[in-house]
Structure 1
Amino acid sequence: MKRLLVVGCGMTAHRLVEELRARDGAARWRILVLGEEPYGAYNRIALTDRLRGVPAEELTLGAPDGGGLEIRTSTRVAGIDRPAHEVVTAEGRRLPYDALVLATGAVPARPPVPGAELRGCHVYRTLDDVHAIREAAQAASGERAVVVGGGLLGLETAEALHRHLGIRPHVVEAAPHLMPAQLDPEAAGLLAISLSRRGIRLHEGTALRSLDPGPAGEVTGVTLADETRITTRLVVFTAGTRPRDDLAAAAGLPRGERGGYLVDDDCRTPDPDIWAIGDCAAIHGRRTGTVAPGYHMAATVAARLAGAPASPPPLSPAEPSTVLKLPGVDVASMGNPHAQTEDAVELTYTRPGPATRYAKLILDPEARTLRAAILLGHPTAHSRLHALVGEELPAPAEQLLT
């Protein structure tokens, strides 16, 4: 029996084990999964539900059924001994492998500004991060908090703090408008109006300049580039991550230009026995930050380990797809609405009023296929249009939006 060692116990690692179990009918692989956190795999996408008060147990993914699998939590891998085909843990224990899959994910970025490490400043990536933010918010109920980052995670965090923990949130976004990767200015402006009505203060187009310290090393406020100062003792950073690829240098594994273990289309590094999947991988130097590509990588590696001659089907052109999960606010983006496509046709629909609706559909001019879409106030159209990205529209766009 061969030994598969997986470093990382997140969602893509969990999917890898499931996919390999489904393909490895002869049970040729004995699997050991090592995770740094004290928990098994959980749904990281649902962390905001935990911030809202959902029990942590409801996020648990659970171990796949069957024998031949061991999961060790609270275990950090400190190095890879490639000639010996072993990993070395922080405690100095050596664990052998025949195949090694790196699924180490990413770590949240703190802005490079003075005071980012002050007490009261939190990153948002793990269950423990969310537990710490909840505890701090409960102690500061009724006060202000500053969320740095006006993307998907930042807006969901601000809503949870406001609606469920009694915090008055301010959101700081350096880009000119909210969710700059997914929305155009018009959709973002309509979203900003809706959020402001809910009691979320927005500071768009201005960067964070500094975090102001108190006498005991605690944060007391933030100062923005436009000289605005917001008094607070709770700051949450939700703007960006970087790949967790710290095992690469000592092991002699190449990294992409923007980080991540450099892999080919099969997610294999230049070492034929080492693979990388998820946020820590850079396929030909390109990184992805959503779960769907990570799951596709997991399926690809599982197929190779099981000896399958063909790769899984390619990713849908609708990826990346984003849905903002706020009660009463329906915002979705699919495909790449910012991609520069020569002669692309843009269809825009706006219905102002109390129940504002906005939609932009980007079509290929020749085949009339849907390339991307932005939706606001169209809760039932998302799944329909998501399935049509890369396909010719079967009906007039107006009918598909109803």
Structure 2
Amino acid sequence: MQGKLISWQAIRSRVMVFDAALAMIIFLIISIGIVTLYSAGMDFPGRVEGQLRNILIAFSVMWLVANIPPQTLMRFAIPIYTFGVALLIAVALFGTVKKGARRWINVGTDIQPSEIMKIATPLMLAWYFQKREGGLRWKDFIVAAVILGIPVGLIAKQPDLGTALLVVAAGFAVIFLAGLSWRVLITLVLVVAASIPVIWPRLHGYQRDRVMTMIDPTTDPLGKGFHIIQSTIAVGSGGISGKGWQHSTQARLGFVPEQTTDFIFSVFSEEFGFIGNCVLVVLYLLLVIRGLMIAANAPTLFARLMAGSVTMIFFTYAFVNMGMVSGILPVVGVPLPFMSYGGTALVTLGMGGGILMSVQRNRKLVQT
């Protein structure tokens, strides 16, 4: 009897690894996403079934990572980072070109190595700062900037500005949480602002067009500004309570671009209105708050930095996507977390959720 009890406890400790609050928030967002995708994807057969398959894979990855202690994750930091950078170099040398961008490499199927770096880069930075805990100097932050700059430079060169910005946000969160002073942060902001005249001419033409279109989309309403104009019309036409499920005229008539992926928020806004948007924003805020709570209570510096970085990834995804769909940020191709159709991004987010649950689970194990 005692042997059976021990076996059940061992199985239970491996199966019941999800943080209840975090899992519930993610489940609610995914549920809203499936309902919205069903409406947005009526003209795209197989999207809902495909997304359910992606969700199953993402939750499997989340469960697997949640079972890996942070100490074990730390051992994989250097191999994963090195492997990711090697893949980015391979993409630059002989990657697959699609729509003018060299972002993929064929390994039997096309994969996008830049997605790996959203987790690999903060993982490497967290490992680096853990090794130097208690004796950080300004030189360590320079080394950290180089660790961050290598993948960001390779990703920006593809070009993939959206993913590069996400990697910057995740990596910078680690550097800031490791102890970067506000004085240095303000100096960096001023340096970046002063560098805009130098950076602007080096941007690709379509990247400059996106910024200018964001400032005034009416300058080319039937061309480069068409997508932003139609998206903002969809967001605004939802009013207070929305037009109702499956009644998004902008999406149904084909005016909203990428309505099942990057612009799914415009469909949701048109159907559920301001009230629906408030509910969704609250859920994302709860997701971020729960992530920060897990980070604050993490047992080690590495775990705290990784949890904080993953939380920043969730925040950046949601903020940038809602901002670009609403017309206040340039269109950079960032999906809405746990809602947009897609496999790679959903698996990356699932991995991030697993890291948070691993940190929370091992904090409880340390306490007991």
State the structure with more CA Rg.
Answer: 1
Q: By percentage of residues, which structure has more strand?
A: 1
Relative contact order: is structure 1 or structure 2 higher (C-alpha 8 Å, sep ≥ 6)? Answer: 2
Decide: shared fold, TM above 0.5. no
Q: By percentage of residues, which structure has more helix?
A: 2
